[in-house]
Chain A
Amino acid sequence: MARKLLLEHINVPGINTFDVYRSKGGYAAVEKALKTLTPEEIVEEVKKSGLRGRGGAGFPTGMKWSFLAKPEGVARYLVCNGDESEPGTFKDRFLMTYIPHLLIEGMIVSSFALGANTSYIYLRGEMMPQIRILEKAIAEAKAKGFLGKNILGTGYDLELYVQPGGGAYICGEETALLESLEGKRGNPRIKPPFPAIAGLYGCPTVVNNVESIAAVVPIINDGGEEYAKIGIGRSTGTKLISAGGNLKRPGVYEIELGLSAEEFVYGDDYCQGIANGKRLKAVVAGGSSVPILPANLFLKTINNEARLMSYESLSDGGFATGTMLGSGGFIAYDEDQCIVRNTWNFARFYHHESCGQCSPCREGTGWMEKVLHRLEYGHGKMSDIDLLVDVSKKIEGNTICPLGDAAAWPVASAIRHFRDEFEWHVTSAYEATTRNYGLAHYADPLNAVVA
């Protein structure tokens, strides 16, 4: 059985309360960090752990922390990114709902490491139930002396607040999140300056995903080197994968990075295969913005090696034949799902969520949605397919923030891998409105690559 670092005690009754969490070794990392380690030593442990940002970008957390400017007499902030809005991703909601103290503990240790005396957990506004859960957990921790003034008699002060968003995917982008936390529209900022230099209220700020901050707890308890022993290569530790779509057993799984993709989809400890006895057609491995892959390319790389759930293996082959681990938002599509419809759905999502600041994204996402709509509803033209690729290329890389890329990649990858399904929507336009294309050849063994 795989090691669990975050969800080990998830099934213990009452683990959402301070006392039960504490009885299972909770808040030991706070005691260890505040009483025996310096902030620099904590940053060093996180660097040694190899932990990479769990929100999607995969940037090394310890390195991000080490960039934080420390000018004399200026406040520094830690802001936790709980905006979780990437379609397919629901791991942070799960973690905060069932084991909120893990995040609180991680926030205390991380804030101490960064020298922050006020920290914010920014949650998407729709997570009002989780806001109530976290506020209760914060009150409990404060009553026990783990938050507030002079924590555990160490002289370290920390106030922790939960901030709701207002319903905007873009606020998951860290500078848009900071704008939102300052009470403004969620328009991403031009970088540089990066938040590490000028973030919240112009002060040095670190923004980390919920899961990244939670992972700091086992890293401090066991040491960075122990954490780095789990996983494979530069994909160290465990990762929460939120699995949805047409799976027999959808849910949130903590995996050791490097687990085989096949085991994850079909294994008894994980998703147990496709629901209703159907076959797997396609997979979005890391949230809606990463390239969609047909079943055959998801389970095996183009070189016919088993695909692993790790940053490197999932991106093996680049965008031509690979994808990304992203946020761990895993969506499985069975043989009855229509790729054109799904692509239109995602395009509508990105059009809806574009903040409107950059014209390639604001206009391009709208065009892609409209063209995909007419393809799905039987009014498409063959030239529309290349038009979509053209529009996606003109968005990609031409915007202030990565939402443009996130909108372009799903469309480009769907056409790259499922072009015949798009063409069928043109050549058999009426039929395409009455039935789906089916599995076709998307699960067939790959042809050997001949150089």
Chain B
Amino acid sequence: MLSVQNTDTPVTFSPELKAKFADVVSRYPAGKQKSALLPVLHLVQAEYGWVSAPAMDAVAEYLSIQSIEVYEVASFYTMYFLKPQGKYMLEVCRTGPCEIVGATPIMEHIEQQLGVKEGDVTEDGLFSWRGVECLAACGFGPVLQIGPEYTFYENLTKESVDTLISDLRRKAGN
């Protein structure tokens, strides 16, 4: 089960996570540890499912930068979730090449199957979905991706989406 971070509680990163941070920081010259910010935020999101304000403050402290430097980055890039999402966030490409091979009907089908609007979370906490811009898989559309591994599902049909959703439900049930 995904641990959802309460927004007000301070975050303490585990030694394992901090070891991953340190590995990232080692890639840059001394004093340029701010370069680690984007990869570190990905690691935080993979751990907690989203990026909370206390988590961002802890990242700032770890990288010896100001909190605002983390907030402005986390809010600029689209991959970071600033509020909790479903365990599985289905991100469907909605840009031109996917659109002309049927992205909109796929999103409508997902909305219907999950029973939640774009950006909302299903009651069981398992699913969210949203349309995203071009995922660079234009020859295999429609496509969707699911973090934190960012597994790709290509050439989507309503049937393959149904199978995917029921597979994920089964996986979560274990």
Tell me the complex Cα distance, A331–B151, Å.
24
A244-B138, A337-B100 are contacts. A183–B95 as well, Cβ < 8 Å?
no
> Are the C-beta atoms of A345 and B137 separated by less than 8 Å?
no
Tell me the complex Cα distance, A186–B41, Å.
15
Contact with A along B105-149 (1 / 0, CB 8 A): 000000000000000000000000000111111111100010111
Tell me the complex Cα distance, A183–B94, Å.
28
Residue of A nearest to B80 (CB): A166
* CB of B4 within 8 Å of the partner chain: no
| Chain A contact residues: helix, strand, loop or mixed | mixed
Cβ-neighbour of B96 out of A87, A167, A251, A352 (below 8 A): A87
* CB of A90 within 8 Å of the partner chain: yes
Give chain B's interface residue range (CB within 8 Å of chain A): 35 or more
Tell me the complex Cα distance, A329–B34, Å.
33
Q: B95 contacts which chain A residues (CB < 8 A)?
A: 87, 288, 345-346, 349
Minimum Cβ distance to chain A for residue B35 (Å): 5
Q: B132 contacts which chain A residues (CB < 8 A)?
A: 167
Minimum Cβ distance to chain A for residue B136 (Å): 5
Tell me the complex Cα distance, A162–B1, Å.
30
> Are the C-beta atoms of A168 and B77 separated by less than 8 Å?
yes
* CB of A161 within 8 Å of the partner chain: yes
Cβ-neighbour of A129 out of B32, B36, B151 (below 8 A): B151
Cβ-neighbour of B135 out of A126, A181, A245 (below 8 A): A126
Tell me the complex Cα distance, A389–B52, Å.
42
A75-B29, A167-B79, A331-B96 are contacts. A127–B136 as well, Cβ < 8 Å?
yes
What are 23 residue pairs bridging A and B, where the CB atoms are less than 8 Å apart in the complex? A90-B140, A92-B136, A126-B136, A128-B147, A128-B148, A128-B150, A166-B38, A168-B77, A180-B38, A183-B34, A183-B36, A183-B37, A184-B69, A185-B76, A242-B138, A243-B139, A245-B101, A288-B96, A288-B134, A346-B95, A349-B96, A349-B134, A353-B133
Taking Cβ atoms with an 8 Å cutoff, the residues of B that contact A are: 27, 29, 32, 34-39, 41-42, 63, 65, 69, 72-73, 76-80, 94-97, 99-101, 132-141, 145, 147-152
List the 8 closest pairs (A to B, CB-CB), nearest first: A166-B77, A244-B138, A183-B37, A167-B79, A250-B139, A183-B34, A167-B78, A128-B150
